[in-house]
Amino acid sequence: MSALPAISSSSEERSFAEDVLLGLSQDPKSLPCKYFYDARGSQLFDAITELEEYYPTRTEAVIMREHAAAMAAAIGPDALIIELGSGSSIKTRLLLDQLERPAAYVPVDISAEHLERSAAAIAEDYPGLEVLPVAADFTRGFDLPEPTREARRRVVYFPGSTIGNFSEPEAVELLTAVSQMVAPDSRRQLAPGGLLLGFDLVKDAGVLERAYDDSQGVTAQFNLNLLARINAELEGSFDLEHFEHRAVWAPGPQRIEISIRSLRDQVVRAAGKQFRLREGEEILTEYSHKYTRDSIRAYTKRAGLNRARIWADGRDYFGVGLFEP
């Protein structure tokens, strides 16, 4: 067994109620974006990926379609593929289609039910591939199952620019934990492994803001759904009519900052406590950091992944890089 250590900032085993009470008691108020993904939130995110304005998902899939063969050649045969995320997307298949004799595929996802479904689908589509699902919040660390067939190296696949949800120190912590997991290991005859990482590139602020504040208001529903979830699960009293979605490009920290803004002075209840919100006050709900080739390489180098090979789409909107020790 080989563990991916937890990153310090991840909420220990704090419950939804504890995270909500903690976040709404802070100034500025905030709520962890991982709570977006209840059943309704996951449906809304799937709808977001189809939106014209939301380019990341389809752009990353184009990169995988065009370059997965080169990525697979660089990864080589008999690799153990560990995906941070359940692998329910086409991108995973585009990679698995090209890999030579992968030793096994280990999808890691916080939602056991979602994981079960997508792991079964992959196992069905790739009958010769050992699929070893791990239900875990990867920021809390997890143990790696042993594949039946010896792997030559370990490669972590982390698509979707989900790395963007982490602040710089958290991202470097996570990348460092990944770097340790894919490090060479003479006892197991493991050669140095790698990280195949999807990351969104810095671009025109208007393109970025439209991707997170679409004209149909689907992202607004996705964001405000978090309040509906608090109402449903924590006896919340949020009236969604009195809040609005905000998504703004912050050029300094190079991120989209998503928040829920109160449209009036109001007092709300959640998880048994009352909270005052002033008119205009914002509850931060998500950061989505954007990178340049230089900035993402600075992060991965700090994590001990010094070599990089980067593929991008024709508009240089999105990047996928193979980062190796």
Q: Does 199 bind ligand AVJ (CB under 6 A)?
A: no
Crossing angle for the helix pair 218-233 and 39-50, to the nearest 10 degrees = 180
Restricting to residues 84-113, which ones interact with ligand AVJ according to CB under 6 A? none
**Residue choice 162, 176, 179, 300 for contact with ligand AVJ (CB under 6 A):** 162
Rounded to a whole number of angstroms, the minimum distance from the CB of residue 147 to ligand AVJ is 28
Distance CA 9, CA 6 (A): 9
Q: Does 259 bind ligand AVJ (CB under 6 A)?
A: no
Q: Does 161 bind ligand AVJ (CB under 6 A)?
A: yes
Q: Which residue number, 3 or 250, has a Cβ lying nearer to ligand AVJ?
A: 250
Q: Does 212 bind ligand AVJ (CB under 6 A)?
A: yes
Residue 230 makes CB contacts below 8 A (sequence gap 6+) with: 20, 236, 238, 270, 271
Q: Does 160 bind ligand AVJ (CB under 6 A)?
A: yes
Q: Which residue number, 24 or 247, has a Cβ lying nearer to ligand AVJ?
A: 247
Distance CA 33, CA 30 (A): 9
Burial pattern 237-275, b for ≥16 Cβ within 10 A else e, equals ebeeebbebbbebeeeebbbbbbbebeeebebebbeeeb
Q: Which residue number, 2 or 49, has a Cβ lying nearer to ligand AVJ?
A: 49
Q: Which residue number, 2 or 43, has a Cβ lying nearer to ligand AVJ?
A: 43
> CA nearest 247: which of 233, 264, 259?
259
In the complex, the residues that contact ligand AVJ under the rule CB under 6 A are: 48, 56, 160-162, 164-165, 212, 219, 286, 288
